[in-house]
Amino acid sequence: MVEALHEARRRTFALVASVSEDDLERVHSPLMSPLVWDLAHIAAYEDLWLVHRFGERPLLREDLAAMYDAFETPRAVRGDLPLLNSAQARDYLDEVRERALEVIEERGIGDGVLHEMVLRHEHQHDETMLQTLLLARLDGYELAGRRTMPPSPNPTHTGLELIDIPAGECTIGADGDGFAYDNERPRHRNDVRGYLIGRTAVTNASYLTFVEGGGYQRREWWSDEGWAWKEEYDISRPGGWTADLTAEWRLGGLEPLHPDRPVVHVSWFEADAFARAHGARLPTEIEWEKAATWDQDREMARRYPWGNRRPAPGQHANLDQRGCGTAPAGAYPDGASAYGCLGMIGDTWEWTSSGFDGYAGFVAHPYREYSEVFFGGDYRVLRGGSWATRTRVATSTFRNWDYPQRRQIFSGFRIARSA
Ligand SMILES: [Fe+2]
């Protein structure tokens, strides 16, 4: 655990190593915090859970607790606060970490759950920071150790090819072993009707055809809410595409639009309209999870689509940030699920049709604000993690959620159809 905490911190610092003071402290998008907020928030969270709650010591900086509490200080106002500057935020991170390690030295890590939670929290904020860094469109941004992308598979994928998933029971949710968030439990059986689901996520080429075929003009393909959103904000293409539809913003600059890469930075509304235009729909999250994990022959869920082995980035999936963007759809055949679906983990978060709610028997843990307060409303579930998700947190049962109009995240989708 100590080594994992050190490794997480090395990555956090690596992400911002090439970013100027000014860019760390500035608001780049109204939807995102200044990067220095994320840095100090990582420290405040670790201080609260590992030093104060677990170690029973006073907070290092009681005076900062409210400013760096995600609930008390929503994103929209974070840019107006007297935040720590980047040097102060780094010191805060170092000092809290020193105390957290002292506590571990003194009393171990107990059952390890709080430490795992804090570790994953840092991993997840690293992805959030990459969203901000991409939205900031910083020219020449570099992440050390950048991985080269695999070539497009031959033949290439479009996202329109569907795989038949037969009706039948499967298990959904995280098992009792190991760490999982409250909203992934309890594992339960679910009887799913037969359906078809995309072998891969929908690609830029397929989405471009939709755009050029009047995708944003054909009223009949849009839900009422989706159409109203599109009209109000004058949306006519994915978030990172240029107006001439030939290039997209990636980490470090503008690149020609790659036809085989999954489309990314689309809202749930856009994903839904694309699916309708193809006589399809988005999968429910249960359908998504069954296609990703269920091994019908052995009647058991796999931990990952390819089996129970931890993901090896670059072999099973495009994960862990160093790819600095999406890879061609289907480029990792070793990551196929038992049903033959590709790229379910990594590359892009995939929108599902499902609203975010607890499974039957849900129990909030360790606090209601982790997920319960988001239930029952307007959030839609996303699955599978993106290229910017760290390996440890990219699991087949992990549930992400966001508003259907949001596209600051690394969100794409695959389509489905009832059998
Ligand atoms: Fe957080």
**What pLDDT does residue 328 have?**
98
pLDDT at 71: 82
pLDDT given at position 80:
83
Banded pLDDT at 369 (limits 50, 70, 90): confident
- Sequence-separated (6 or more) residues with CB below 8 Å from residue 269: 222, 223, 225, 226, 229, 230, 404, 405
User: What is the mean pLDDT of the segment spanning 361-368?
Assistant: 90
Q: What is the pLDDT of residue 408?
A: 85
227-245 pLDDT, tens digit per residue, is 999 999 999 999 999 999 9
The answer to whether the beta carbons of residues 337 and 305 sit under 8 Å apart is: yes
- Res 365 pLDDT > 90: no
DSSP-based helix, strand, coil % in the chain, nearest 5: 35, 15, 50
- Give distance in angstroms: CA of 10 to centre of ligand 1: 18
The first and second tokens of residue 308, run together, are 């129970």
pLDDT over threshold 90, residue 340 = yes
**Confidence check: pLDDT of 76 > 90:** no
DSSP string, 1-13: -HHHHHHHHHHHH
What is the average pLDDT score of the chain?
95
Per-residue pLDDT at 176: 78
pLDDT at position 73, please?
A: 84
Please give the distance, rounded to the nearest whole angstrom, from the Cα atom of residue 198 to the centre of ligand 1: 32
Across the range 57-65, mean pLDDT stands at 93
Distance from residue 47's CA to the centre of ligand 1 (Å): 13
The answer to whether residues 122 and 42 touch, using CB atoms and an 8 Å cutoff, is yes
Q: How far is the CA of 179 from the centre of ligand 1 (A)?
A: 18
**Alpha-carbon separation of residue 4 from 7, 119, 308, 364, 390 (angstroms):** 5, 8, 20, 26, 12
Q: Which of 156-165, 173-182, 379-388 has the lowest mean pLDDT?
A: 173-182
**Contact by Cβ (8 Å): 408, 388:** no
Predicted confidence (pLDDT) at residue 252 exceeds the cutoff of 90? no
Asked if the model's pLDDT at residue 194 lies above 90, the reply is yes
Indicate whether 383 pLDDT > 90. yes
Q: Give residue 134's pLDDT band: very low, low, confident or very high (50, 70, 90).
A: very high
| Tens of pLDDT, residues 269-302 | 999 999 999 999 999 999 999 999 999 999 999 9
For residue 169, pLDDT over 90 is answered with yes
Residue 251 in contact with residue 143, Cβ under 8 Å? yes
pTM of the shown model: 0.96
Location of structure tokens 């839609």: 380
CA 52 to ligand 1 centroid distance, Å: 17
Give the count of beta carbons closer than 10 Å to the beta carbon of residue 123: 22
* Distance from residue 207's CA to the centre of ligand 1 (Å): 33
Q: What's the CA-to-centroid distance between 115 and ligand 1, angstroms?
A: 14
Each residue's pLDDT tens digit, 12-60 = 999 999 999 999 999 999 889 999 999 999 999 999 999 999 999 999 9
Q: What distance in angstroms lies between residue 330's CA and the mean position of ligand 1's atoms? A: 32
Say yes or no to pLDDT of 75 above 90.
Answer: no
Distance 121 CA to ligand 1 centre (A): 6
Q: What is the pLDDT of residue 79?
A: 80
For 80, residues 6+ apart whose C-beta sits below 8 A from its C-beta are none
> What confidence score (pLDDT) does residue 78 get?
83
Q: Hey, which of 75-84, 137-146, 151-160, 175-184 has the most confident mean pLDDT? A: 151-160
